[in-house]
Structure 1
């Protein structure tokens, strides 16, 4: 099971920064889960929130303005993937505006990087899957009444075979059913050590967490 750092390891660097990504990989995480948004000047940046520290929407700011507001250089998706080419990347599309830039990058990279494109907006994941240049997944924060209904649209797309579940929405039988249908399961949202231990006992491809200690890793000391 892969351990995937949620927005990197934000102990001595801002979340979703190159420093946080480097710290997570140094701590033993195999992958990074991050979010991509589009700035006013068309940059696909990695940023977890809709609003910056000054309360303005990310999409209303240039990358330089966003970086100034946050106090660090907000990385682009391209910069992060190039900086850590061996990492497994789980990139969440937060809105349709960023999709063209992300899809263009995926077409440039081909299959030379290990990237899974996910979204709560399942139509965006379907659009990414149609390109055929990256693995794709559906982020799911509810327990479906019928798993087949959730997966119906995904079945024709062979690269859309990942499910990213909220911890509170899953149980072992549901994950086993998804596995039997050929889907890879990831879980996010585990908080306590006991919840992390339970995830280790489930049929998961990966665990997305912000807590290396609960996941059994020893984080490096913060940079001085």
Structure 2
């Protein structure tokens, strides 16, 4: 099971920063999850929320302005991928506006970097699956009434074979059905040691977590 750091190791550095990614890899994570939005100057920036703390939309400010408002340097997708070329990257595309910039950045990297593109916007992933020969997947917040209603649109796309389930939406029967149909199952949102143990028992392909201590990884305290 791949262990993927949710936005990096956020207890030691701001989330989605190069420092957080470096710390996550140093303590033993196999991969990194991050979020991509588009800034006003057309940069694919790594920032989770739609707005900064002051309420200003990310899409309304430049990358430099965003960094000033956030209080740290907000990296671009290119900077992060260049900094950690050997890492497995789960890149969540947060908004349709970022699609073109993400595709432009990833096209030359597909053959040389390990990438998984995901989104809550399943229409984005369908367009990505058509445009790029990269692994893509659906993020699933709610348990579907039937698995076929979720997978119907994905089946024609050979590279769209990953489901990223929110912990409270997972159902062992659905996981087994998806796996039998050739889909990889990832889970995010586990909070306790017990929940992490259950994820291990479910034989998932990947676990996206904020808790290295629950998956057997040791975090070295920062120097004082």
**1:216 is the counterpart of 2:205:** no
Q: Which residue of 1 aligns with 2:11?
A: 11
- Runs of 4 or more off by more than 2 Å in structure 1? none
- Residues 109-145 of structure 1, C-alpha deviation per residue, up to 9 Å, x if partnerless? 1321111110100000011111233110000001111
The 1-side partners of 2:185 and 2:144 are apart by 15
Q: Which residue of 2 aligns with 1:194?
A: 194
The 2-side partners of 1:110 and 1:130 are apart by 14
Alpha-carbon offset, residue 223 of structure 1? 4.8
Alpha-carbon offset, residue 11 of structure 1? 2.1
TM-score of the two chains, using structure 2 as the length reference: 0.97
> Where do 5+ consecutive residues of structure 1 fail to align?
none
Q: Is the 8 A contact 2:212 2:219 kept in 1?
A: yes
Q: Which residue of 2 aligns with 1:128?
A: 128
Aligned length: 224
Q: Which residue of 1 aligns with 2:141?
A: 141
Q: Which residue of 2 aligns with 1:155?
A: 155
> Where do 5+ consecutive residues of structure 2 fail to align?
none
**1:80 is the counterpart of 2:80:** yes
Alpha-carbon offset, residue 75 of structure 1? 0.4
The within-5 A match list for 1:37-186 is 37-186=37-186
- Residues 37-62 of structure 1, C-alpha deviation per residue, up to 9 Å, x if partnerless? 00000000001111113220000010
Q: Is the 8 A contact 1:175 1:203 kept in 2?
A: no
1:218 counterpart SS class: coil
Q: Is the 8 A contact 1:11 1:222 kept in 2?
A: no
The 1-side partners of 2:136 and 2:183 are apart by 11
- Residues 47-87 of structure 1, C-alpha deviation per residue, up to 9 Å, x if partnerless? 11111132200000100000011121100011101100111
The 1-side partners of 2:89 and 2:113 are apart by 8
The 2-side partners of 1:110 and 1:190 are apart by 30
TM-score of the two chains, using structure 1 as the length reference: 0.97
The 1-side partners of 2:129 and 2:223 are apart by 39
Question: Aligned-residue CA RMSD in angstroms?
Answer: 1.0
